[in-house]
Amino acid sequence: MGLATALIDGNNFYASCEQSLDPSLIGKPVVVLSNNDGCIVARSAEARALGIAMGTPYFKARQELERQNVVVRSSNYALYADMSQRMMSLLEIHCEELEIYSIDEAFGRVRRPKDGDLQSWGRSLRARVRQDLGLPIAIGLGASKSQAKLANRLAKQVPAHAGIFDLGHCTDPDAWLETIAIEDVWGIGRKLARWCRLRGVNNARLLRDMPSGELRAKCGVVGLRLQRELRGHACLPLALAPSPKQETCVSRSFSRPITTLEELRQAVATYVVRAAEKLRKQHQRAAALTVYTRTSPFIPAFYSQAASTRLDLPSNDTTVLLEAALPLVDRIFRPHRQLAKAGVLMQHLQGTELLQSHLLVPLSEAQQQRREELMRTIDRLNRRYGRGTVQWAACGLHPSWMMRRERLGRTATTRLSDVPVVHADR
């Protein structure tokens, strides 16, 4: 019967991760807040049923959330990334090919059985992920990525589908496509949706069947490719290996405005350390970097400044990057400015397979290997015992400007101190 494309994603992923680690939250309305406990960025199914809107500022919704006994959690990205990695590893076992599309989504290729029915495969996978990770998932199946996207939406919206829908093996696919508004089709933005509606194309089926010449005149080959995908032709291949990053950025808003040079240096050092970890994980080195800071755009006399430098020798060594970044802080700092955010941007990235030596920067192969082994050792210690176990002094000790996370849950999958301890009496 050939191959089918599946879109598998975690339902209400951030909230589901919190419920998985704390079973007392199952069945309760749960919301997850953005950085610095700012806005609501994730809601459990129970919270959605209460009408809690996505993106609502927490300070505005706080009283209503308390009135409705909604559990509020600060964002716990270490937990979500770890649970995502576990889920993707499990999906790889059940798919012939897998493309990790986002932290909670993946496209997979699955071979259809003789009767073409993948319902038993989908039920088995959902049960396995729920049993092993405690996460609910939805599975949409089709002949292409676009069909799988639509099927995934139908799997979530129709309770009778029980989280699985196969657009390539249903009795009347046209009827289902007519239920999907043009705005909900993958790849259709606000302006294009308006253009379609002005021509009477208001759902996925009408988009699939509209004249190709008219769509091509508006959108070019991208529009034609989307239309062919809706017709069941797989035009978008699976990206089995992510393309190398062109830049790596680490930035955060402060929990309170900072006004001193020392605090800004600590913040930039902290972000450089994190960026260096990312580079090593990506097997890349940076040949240039930029440091920037700004005040809040909502106060008078807005201030924003950035400074850049190039490295004579591309590096992902934290010490080298700190030595390059910290002098830039003096150039962007201004006294009496209430700085609200800072960040570092690693640029001109290149792979670690080759390193072009520099005549004026003597670095023997033995020295380079020792530095790389030191970085690997530090990364292993921080992965095993928790981030910050081995830290650079330039980052400071317990700085008060760090991101606010007053409602942080446990991180038992990545932090030993959060692992539950069971005491058994004799």
Residue 400 lies in a domain: no
Q: Would 403 be classed as within a structural domain?
A: no
pLDDT of the residue at 219: 87
Q: Does residue 160 lie in a domain region?
A: yes
N-to-C CA span, the chain: 60
Verify that 196 and 270 share a domain, yes or no.
no
> Residue 391 is part of which domain span?
248-395
Sheet with 71-74, side-by-side order of all strands: 40-43, 30-33, 71-74
User: Is 404 domain-assigned?
Assistant: no
Last residue in a domain, options 197, 220, 243: 243
Do 282 and 214 share a structural domain?
no
Question: Torsion-angle region of residue 209: left (phi > 0), alpha (psi -120 to 50) or beta?
Answer: alpha
What's the pLDDT at 71? Answer: 92
b/e per residue, 260-297, with b = 16+ CB within 10 A? Answer: eeebbbbbbbbbbbbbbbebbebebbbbbbbbbbbbee
Does some domain include residue 200?
yes
CA dihedral of residues 76, 79, 81, 87 (deg, nearest 10): -140
Residue 424 belongs to some domain of the structure? no
In contact, 250 and 344? CB cutoff 8 Å? yes
Among 243, 271, 293, where does a domain finish? 243
Same structural domain for residues 126 and 62?
A: yes
pLDDT at 242: 77
Q: Report the distance separating Cα 127 and Cα 327, nearest Å.
A: 54
Q: Is residue 409 part of a domain?
A: no
Do 85 and 122 reside in the same domain of the chain? yes
205 shares its domain with 263: no
Answer whether residue 112 is part of any domain: yes
Residue at which a domain ends, from 221, 243, 265: 243
At residue 331's C-alpha, the angle toward residues 325 and 332, to 5°, is 90
Q: Are residues 129 and 258 in the same domain?
A: no
276 plus 378 within the same structural domain: yes
186 shares a domain with 83: no
What pLDDT shows up at residue 275? 96
pLDDT score recorded for residue 420: 74
Same domain, 234 and 302: no
- Tell me, what CATH number does 113's domain have? 3.30.70.270
Same domain for 204 and 291, yes or no, is no
177, with CB counted inside 10 A (0-12, 13-18, 19+), is buried
CATH no. for residue 258? 3.30.1490.100
Please state, in angstroms and rounded to a whole number, the distance separating the CA atoms of residues 285 and 326. 18
164 and 196 share one domain: no
- 354 and 214 fall within a common domain: no
Q: Residue 199: which CATH number?
A: 1.10.150.20
Please list the rounded mean pLDDT of every run of 10 residues in the chain (426 residues).
89 92 90 89 91 89 91 90 93 93 93 90 94 94 94 91 89 91 91 92 92 90 92 88 88 90 94 95 94 92 94 92 95 92 95 80 82 93 84 87 74 69 75
> What residue type is assigned to position 101 of the chain?
Y
How many domains does one find in the chain?
3
